[in-house]
Structure formats: structure tokens, C-alpha cells
Amino acid sequence: MELLPGQGNDDATLTICGNRITRFQLYAAAAAVAEQVAGADAAAVHATADLSTVIAIIGCLQADVPAVPIPPDSGPRERDHLLRDSGADCWFGDRPDDLPSALPSVIIDRSRQSTPPAEPDPDSTALIMYTSGTTGAPKGALISRRALAAELDALAAAWQWSPEDVLVQGLPLFHVHGLVLGLLGPLRVGGSLIHTGRPRPELYAAAAEAGGTMFFGVPTVWSRIAADPASARALSSARLLVSGSAGLPSTVFRDVRELAGQGPIERYGMTETLITLAARVDEERRPGWVGRPIDGVRARIVDDHEAPVPADGETIGDLQIRGATLFDGYLGRPEATAESFTADGWFRTGDVAAVDAEDHHRIVGRAEQDLIKSGGYRVGAGEIEAVLLDYPGIEEVAVVGVPDDDLGQRIVAYVVGDQVDEQHVINWVAGQLSVHKRPREIRRTASLPRNAMGKIQKSQLH
């Protein structure tokens, strides 16, 4: 089983920030890199958006050396942890001043080419990808070649992804979205890629005019596109728009659909599982819903007693996953690995979700941040946020639960927007949802804290 088959569209190319390379040239240049790193324990890749990063990643895959994507904006402490924890013994890319002198750099010379080596064992580790570290230092998730192949084949089936497609994206090459789906996806399918460097609306519009057929973005990207009507209309020629990494507000979905002729479909995943739930290209698009399990994956939603919740689309519970796309554990942390699985082998995602009778899923959010237990009720923050975003004048929102002596947790909404009347907003939510789901307090703020992928950092709001 080849992870990155050589066959595909003979005209397929990769264009990264305007620099173009053919599939054949990429594999040949990567093969020369593979010869240099063969036998390494792991290789750290300074994952900037350029062709050198792409060649380094593919070279590591060819050499059967786990690649460790390093965020370009990581600070010295974080970078030191990733290097030490992964055991990386070589470095690709520009060297930060504080990088250990004993860690050798591998120089990429595109003019140097070779023949790709034999395909490695499909069960070998392809990537060591680090989690966000919300409960401590980031943990390295071991991603196998087999899991990557299963993931990309299932998404190709769900999205009818073919060698004729030209994927457009401008996402970081150190996350699942930008690296696995956005780079390895086109290579496995046999199609082309245009990486815009940054996911700016005008760059996506230019890529559409250059023949882009599929577009990937996080909600922040789609929000900015919706606010740029000319760029959004340019995407009317696209075959498929995909949103992920966080929930897409229904208002953004509606605005993009009105301007581009279609709304983005959504999907769900995480570092440890890759993408596991996805809306299908040929099904009705429902904002806020991330579709059904992809081929080779199963999902279940359980309550506090591990019993399945009703498939009514409303009752929320803990989302658990098992199947072909799962990681092989956390590097050097057997106890953390064991704790992340149930006794019967299901991975605990830590996310809260609901499922309907047709097996379509709706993600509410993280259990520790988005499941609010107030007055004896289990309330999903995402449901309240979706309603608040429909309120005139509210531009952004984050709903959290804060400790309360009477209720256990009090529902508080942080909102960005002008001329927002607190009591009117509270009463309006109570009229849209059950009364117990209304915010008890509205706090106005100039902006919401976000990470590099555009996800709101609710822990910073308490």
C-alpha cells in the first residue's frame, strides 16, 4: 500500500506561495532528502509555507523517518520541548538563534534528485504531531502511514475528490487540516494544490480564477470571505467548499451561500483521530452539522454513565471514536494513552455532541469548556452561541460557565458588538431556546482571544 502513489493526473502540480513544482519533481527532490535522513529517529521540520517544507515532509515519509512539524511561531520553551520529547536528531528549515548547535541541519537542494526508495511498512509512524497542550505540555501523537491512507481515501469518497481537482488552501502546515488534508490529500488523490501562503480572501479569489475547484478554510477564513463580496462571488466556480477546525457560525454559512452559490460543508476531527466525521458533497448542507462517520470509522455519544444518548439531534453527551484513522498513542506516555481510551477500546475525544436518527452529528464543544452544568441541566455552549450570533449587532460570541453557589455554573456570554442591550439579549435567547439555557450575564469585550487556527481560547476568559 503506497501512501503517496506516483500515479495521478500527469499535469498535477503543487504551487506554494507562487512557487510551482510537478509531482515528479517533488518526489525526485524528496528522494534525495530521504537519502540524507535515512536511519534518523525523527526529523524536525520548521513548517513554514514554502516548497522546502513540502520537500522535507515528503522526504521523511519516503525515508520512513517520522516527521515532526514545528510551528514557525513557537517560542524557545515550546520548541525545546518538541525537540526533546520527539527525539528529533536533525532539523529542516531556517535555524532559530536558540536552536541547539548539536542538532544538525539538513540542506535541501532542489537540483539534487534521486529515485524514491521502497515503500515503508504501512504500520510505521509517519508523523509525530503535537496536541495543543491545554492540560499540560503538548503530547506527541503517533500517526501511522496506514491511518493517513485510510483517512484520505475515506474523505476522497465522501467528497468525490478526484485527480482533476485543484485544492486551494492557505492553512498552517503543522496541523491536520493544512498538512494531512491540505498537502498529503492532493498527493494521494493525484490532484493539484495551490497553497496561498495566507488564507486571504483576494488570494482565494485569484486561485479560483486560476482553476481552483476545492477550497479549505477555518471559520475565520470563511467569515472574512463573507465580508468580501467580490472574493466570495469569485468562488462560485468552485465544486466544493469545506470548513473545519471549529464550528462554522450559521450566519457565515448563509452569507457565503448567498454570495458563492453554496455554503461550506463541515467536518470534525482532532490530532489523535484525524478527520472522523464529514458531511458528504451530495447531501443537504446543514450549518452546524459535521455529517456522518467516514468509511472505516465508528462514533458513539454517551452520557455520564457511559450509556448511549437518544439519537434525537438534541440530547448531548460525550463523543467517542474508534476506527482506522486513530493514532497509535502518545509518544512515551503509556498512562496518558491508556486514560484516553475506554475499557472497551473507544477513544475519548473530550468533545460534546448530539446525533440524529440519520447518524448526522452536531458538535457542541469541548467537555471541559463547552458543557455547562447549570441548575441541574446539561447545556451546550455552542447552541447558545449559534443563537446569539443571529442577534443584530453581535459580531462574535463565546459562552462559558462560571462557578455559581446556587446554580453550580452560571451561563455567561462574552460578546463583541455595538449597541447590545444586556437584558434584551438575555430575554431574546430565552425566547429562542429553553429558558434555562439563557445567559445570566452578558459581558461586552473588544475582542475574543484566539489561537493560530482561529479557535477561541475560552480559558482566557475566566
**462 residues of the chain, pLDDT tens digit each:** 689 887 677 789 999 999 999 999 999 999 999 999 999 999 999 999 999 999 999 999 999 999 999 988 888 888 898 999 999 999 999 998 889 889 999 999 989 999 999 999 999 999 999 986 545 678 999 999 999 999 999 999 999 999 999 999 999 999 999 999 999 999 999 999 999 999 999 999 999 999 999 999 988 899 899 999 999 999 999 999 999 987 888 889 999 999 999 999 999 999 999 999 999 999 999 988 999 999 999 999 999 888 999 999 989 899 999 999 999 999 999 999 999 999 999 999 999 999 999 999 999 877 777 778 787 677 778 778 888 888 888 988 999 888 887 787 899 999 998 777 889 889 988 888 878 889 999 999 988 988 766 678 888 886
Backbone angles phi, psi at 220, to 5 degrees: -60, -40
Question: Residue 80, class by beta-carbon neighbours within 10 Å (0-12 exposed, 13-18 middle, 19+ buried)?
Answer: middle
The rounded Cα 53 to chain-centroid distance in angstroms is: 19
Assign 3-class secondary structure to the chain: CCCCCCCCCCCCEEEECCEEEEHHHHHHHHHHHHHHHCCCCCEEEECCCCHHHHHHHHHHHHHCCCEEEECCCCCHHHHHHHHHHHCCCCEECCCCCCCCCCCCECCCCCCCCCCCCCCCCCCCEEEEEECCCCCCCCCEEEEEHHHHHHHHHHHHHHHCCCCCCEEEECCCCCCHHHHHHHHHHHHHHCCEEEECCCCCHHHHHHHHHCCCCEEEECHHHHHHHHCCHHHHHHHHHCCEEEECCCCCCHHHHHHHHHHHCCCCEEEEEECCCEEEEECCCCCCCCCCCCEEECCCEEEEEECCCCCECCCCCCCCEEEEEEECCCCCCECCCHHHHHHCECCCCCEEEEEEEEECCCCCEEEEEEHHHHEEEECCEEEEHHHHHHHHCCCCCEEEEEEEEEEECCCEEEEEEEEEECCCCHHHHHHHHHHHCCHHHCCCEEEECCCCCECCCCCECHHHCC
pTM of structure: 0.84
Superfamily of domain 375-460: ANL, C-terminal domain (3.30.300.30)
User: According to the model, what pLDDT value does residue 409 have?
Assistant: 85
User: According to the model, what pLDDT value does residue 461 have?
Assistant: 83
User: According to the model, what pLDDT value does residue 434 have?
Assistant: 73
The cell numbers describing 438, all together, are 439563557
User: According to the model, what pLDDT value does residue 9 have?
Assistant: 73
Beta carbons of 430 and 438 less than 8 angstroms apart: yes
User: According to the model, what pLDDT value does residue 1 have?
Assistant: 64
CA–CA gap between residue 195 and residue 215 (Å, rounded) = 10
Cα dist from 316 to 73, 245, 308, 334, whole Å: 36, 20, 10, 30
User: According to the model, what pLDDT value does residue 121 have?
Assistant: 95
The rounded Cα 174 to chain-centroid distance in angstroms is: 10
User: According to the model, what pLDDT value does residue 407 have?
Assistant: 80
